[in-house]
């Protein structure tokens, strides 16, 4: 074996991954489509591969982190022969369906494939808060776990290849809405003298922390209802919730802030009332999201 690990793709994230393997003392072989991006890692001790085939030919473990799943297929498919019998860990962001497509191709070619979702940015790879989600064969995860832990805490979610990307994208979706909420809070708070982005953020961070701490209780109620129909106990009247949401919309409008997203909240609560509900609960909120998809 030429190296402990081969990293294909040295964009911002791929360089961080390869750098973490080097820092952990792994012999690291690197390849990137644009060869000049390899130089800095070679100076740090990585071994340069002339092409992707050379990078994987003698690899114990192949880690791929490219722009998108199309790029992954484009790079890996011509290497089926070289990859036979090896394990590929794909850390490229993609959908569960794309992960399944890659795993199907890999299985047909005799390649073991783990799919991964990186819950970190390049600057936090290998730092205490970084974690990476994996799915695919448990035996392969167990075999490579020590190497994968170099990048961040490694969580294996199950044999279903799509589980890592499903959870990755679920977490990213929640993050996206959270940052949208941050923008809304800052736009409202800075709409008059006396408000500043730093000032509202100082309040927002602990507020979101204390609200986030409620989620495990909501999650328990959602799971209990799904398991055996246990009715939720953490409820609030839809009338109180709707009044609060309408206050948000009116305050944003008065502050000259776009209400397009906030308008959705009272509309959704009214739809629940129209459907015969008089209290909000976390299980009901999730069921409403699922029903909207079924009805569209």
If the CB atoms of residues 66 and 184 are measured against ligand FVH, the closer one turns out to be 66
- For every residue of 221-257, DSSP letters joined together read HHHHHHHH-PPPS-EEEHHHHHHHHHHHHHHHHHTT-
Q: Pick the piece of the chain touching ligand FVH (CB under 6 A) from 9-17, 127-135, 179-187, 248-256.
A: 9-17
Decide if residue 14 touches ligand FVH (CB under 6 A): yes
Of the CA atoms within 13 Å of residue 3, those in its CB half-sphere come to 27
Q: Is 53 helix (H, G, I), strand (E, B) or coil?
A: helix
Is 6 an interacting residue with respect to ligand FVH (CB under 6 A)?
no
Q: Tell whether residue 98 is a contact of ligand FVH (CB under 6 A).
A: no
Q: Mark residues 265-284: x for contact with ligand FVH by CB under 6 A, - for none.
A: --------------------
Residues numbered 77-96 forming contacts with ligand FVH, rule: CB under 6 A? 92-93
What is the DSSP code (8-state) at residue 149?
Answer: T
Q: Which stretch binds ligand FVH (CB under 6 A): 28-36, 108-116, 250-258, 268-276?
A: 28-36
Q: Is 32 in the site for ligand FVH (CB under 6 A)?
A: yes
| Span of 68-76, 207-215, 230-238, 283-291 interacting with ligand FVH by CB under 6 A | 68-76
Q: Which of 67, 142, 219, 271 binds ligand FVH (CB under 6 A)?
A: 67
d(CA 274, CA 268): 10
Give the residue with the Cβ less far from ligand FVH, 12 or 202. 12
Contact window for ligand FVH (CB under 6 A) among 118-126, 209-217, 229-237, 269-277: 118-126
Which one, of 70, 100, 107, 75, lies nearest residue 6 by Cα?
75
Q: Compute and round to an integer the Cα radius of gyration of the chain.
A: 24
208 burial type by CB count under 10 A (0-12 exposed, 13-18 middle, 19+ buried)? middle
Q: What whole-number distance in Å separates Cα of residue 37 and Cα of residue 15? A: 9
């Amino acid at each position: 074996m030429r190296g402990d690990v081969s990293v294909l793709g040295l964009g911002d994230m791929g360089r961080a991954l390869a750098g973490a393997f080097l820092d952990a003392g792994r012999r690291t072989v690197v390849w990137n489509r644009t060869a000049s991006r390899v130089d800095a890692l070679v100076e740090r001790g990585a071994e340069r591969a002339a092409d992707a085939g050379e990078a994987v030919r003698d690899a114990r473990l192949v880690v791929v982190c490219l722009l998108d799943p199309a790029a992954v297929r484009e790079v890996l498919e011509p290497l089926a022969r070289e990859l036979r019998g090896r394990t590929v860990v794909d850390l490229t962001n993609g959908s569960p369906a794309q992960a399944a497509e890659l795993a199907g191709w890999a299985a047909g070619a005799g390649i073991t494939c783990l799919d991964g979702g990186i819950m970190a940015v390049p600057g936090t790879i290998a730092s205490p808060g970084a974690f990476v989600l994996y799915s695919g064969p448990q035996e392969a995860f167990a075999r490579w776990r020590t190497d994968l832990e170099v990048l961040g805490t490694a969580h294996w979610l199950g044999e279903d290849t799509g589980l890592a990307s499903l959870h990755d994208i679920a977490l990213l979706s929640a993050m996206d809405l959270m940052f949208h909420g941050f923008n809304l809070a800052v736009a409202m708070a800075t709409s008059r003298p006396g408000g500043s982005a730093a000032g509202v953020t100082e309040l927002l961070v602990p507020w979101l922390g204390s609200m986030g701490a409620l989620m495990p209780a909501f999650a328990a109620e959602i799971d209990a209802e799904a398991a055996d129909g246990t009715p939720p106990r953490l409820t609030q009247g839809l009338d109180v919730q709707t009044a609060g949401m309408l206050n948000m919309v009116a305050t944003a409008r008065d502050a000259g802030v776009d209400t397009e997203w906030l308008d959705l909240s009272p509309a959704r609560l009214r739809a629940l009332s129209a459907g015969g509900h008089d209290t909000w609960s976390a299980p009901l909120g999730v069921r409403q999201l699922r029903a909207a998809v079924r009805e569209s």
